[in-house]
Amino acid sequence: MKKLLMIPAALLLSTAAAAPKISAQSIIVNPTQPDLSVSVRIDKDSSGAQNPAYKVGEKAVISATVNRDAYVYLFNVNPDGSVDQILPNRLSDSNFVKANTTRSFPAPGDKFTFDIAGPIGQNKVLALASLSELNLSQISSFKTAQDQFATVNAKSQAGLAQALSIVVTPIPQNSWVSDTAFYTVAGQTPISTGSLFVGANVDNATVTLNGQRLGGANVTYNNLRPGSYPIRIQAPGYRDISTTVAIRAGTTTNVNAEFVAVTPPAPTQLTITIRSSVNNARVFVDGREAGTINNGSLSIQVDRGSHEIVMIAPGYRTFLSTYNVTTNGQITINPTR
């Protein structure tokens, strides 16, 4: 968990268009393109395109910039999936940021520092900006009046994303937006291995690296030997995703798996006509009544494959047989008395 240490001393009129999206990184994303924007940065990476490394014990500063007056909410997602709420807290003046300005957290004069702590691996800082103040009571809470930082109820990054989705769903689609910054926590000793984070947009995904199953997705795997390796991400009901990944010493490589569901083929319906010299006979297919024979025949539709057919007629013995249906056709049944 990152240590947050104390140092002594109006809405746009809009209609919701689409539900918030959960990305492969388990981060909430607005599926529209609002004219509100937010940019979150960590002090070793002003561009937002890198994945800088911090040693345990270093101090970091997070900054956020918005193009409109907005309330900014900051969360840190740790390598083990646990979540820390950085902002709002009781030590910063406010989480309100004026348009076209950049606020730093902690800012000069704030009575806390953002100290890098374990676990080692990939971290994410999620910034959510909203034109109106949000109610985070179902996400986090201050347990006591003395608490300076809120305790996050969500126990995983996916849980945080889902909870935030619920919070922003009632507000106009054009009034919120999110951004993410990445950084790696490294140990104090020289680094000769690398880390791998695999994000997936579905549950129960598994990761296989160089033929060895690592485990689930949305997890950071540490102490990996540098090199180029084949990787396969699998999830039940989805097509496998395979690619090649480069592991580098001292950094975390990100792989995002955006799964697309496999559409099962529509069942192949075949028509069979059951003919019989017995009228008013009831026909059952796989235990369900399919109809009654009139004028010597009954046409029914079944899936390709094996089916149990039963015929019941007053005064006749019950007929039962199994047929393997592969084409359209007819079956003649003449039960005995």
Q: What is the pLDDT of residues 232-257, one digit of tens each?
A: 999 988 889 999 999 988 888 989 89
The model's confidence at residue 17, banded by pLDDT at 50, 70 and 90, is very low
pLDDT at position 265 is 60
Question: Per-residue pLDDT averaged across 69-82, rounded?
Answer: 89
Residues 222 and 299 in one domain: no
In a domain, 262, yes or no: no
Residues 244 and 280 in one domain: no
CATH of the domain at 34: 2.60.40.3880
Residues 75 and 99 in one domain: yes
Residues 181 and 198 in one domain: no
pLDDT at position 252 is 87
b/e map 190-212, b = 16+ CB within 10 Å: ebeebbbbbbbbbeebbbbbeee
Does position 258 have pLDDT exceeding 70, yes or no? yes
Q: What is the pLDDT of residues 259-302, one digit of tens each?
A: 887 666 656 789 999 999 888 889 999 988 999 998 889 999 99
Q: What is the pTM of this model?
A: 0.57
In a domain, 263, yes or no: no
pLDDT at position 304 is 87
In a domain, 264, yes or no: no
Residues 55 and 129 in one domain: yes
Q: What is the pLDDT of residues 178-205, one digit of tens each?
A: 999 888 887 665 567 888 999 998 889 9
Does position 33 have pLDDT exceeding 80, yes or no? yes
Number of domains in the chain: 3
Does position 10 have pLDDT exceeding 50, yes or no? no
Residues 76 and 182 in one domain: yes
Give the strand pairing for 288-292 and 282-285: antiparallel
Residue ranges making up the domain that contains 322: 269-332
Domain boundary pick from 159, 186, 213? 186
In a domain, 71, yes or no: yes
Cβ within 8 Å of residue 304, ≥6 positions away? 267, 268, 270, 325, 326
Question: Per-residue pLDDT averaged across 121-137, rounded?
Answer: 90
d(C-alpha 173, C-alpha 34), whole Å:
7
Does position 69 have pLDDT exceeding 90, yes or no? yes
Residues 114 and 55 in one domain: yes
pLDDT at position 24 is 62
Question: Per-residue pLDDT averaged across 312-326, rounded?
Answer: 88
Q: What is the pLDDT of residues 143-185, one digit of tens each?
A: 888 888 888 887 777 788 888 888 888 888 889 999 998 888 8
pLDDT at position 158 is 79
Cα atoms in the 13 Å half-sphere on the side-chain side of 16: 12
Tokens of 175: 């009034």
pLDDT at position 206 is 94
Tokens of 336: 């005995």
Residue 81 and residue 219 in contact, taking contact as beta carbons nearer than 8 Å: yes
Residues 234 and 160 in one domain: no
pLDDT at position 269 is 86
CATH of the domain at 327: 2.60.40.1120
Question: Per-residue pLDDT averaged across 118-132, rounded?
Answer: 88
In a domain, 116, yes or no: yes
In a domain, 337, yes or no: no
pLDDT at position 101 is 93
* CA–centroid distance for 119 within its chain: 22
Domain boundary pick from 212, 233, 257? 257
Residues 12 and 84 in one domain: yes
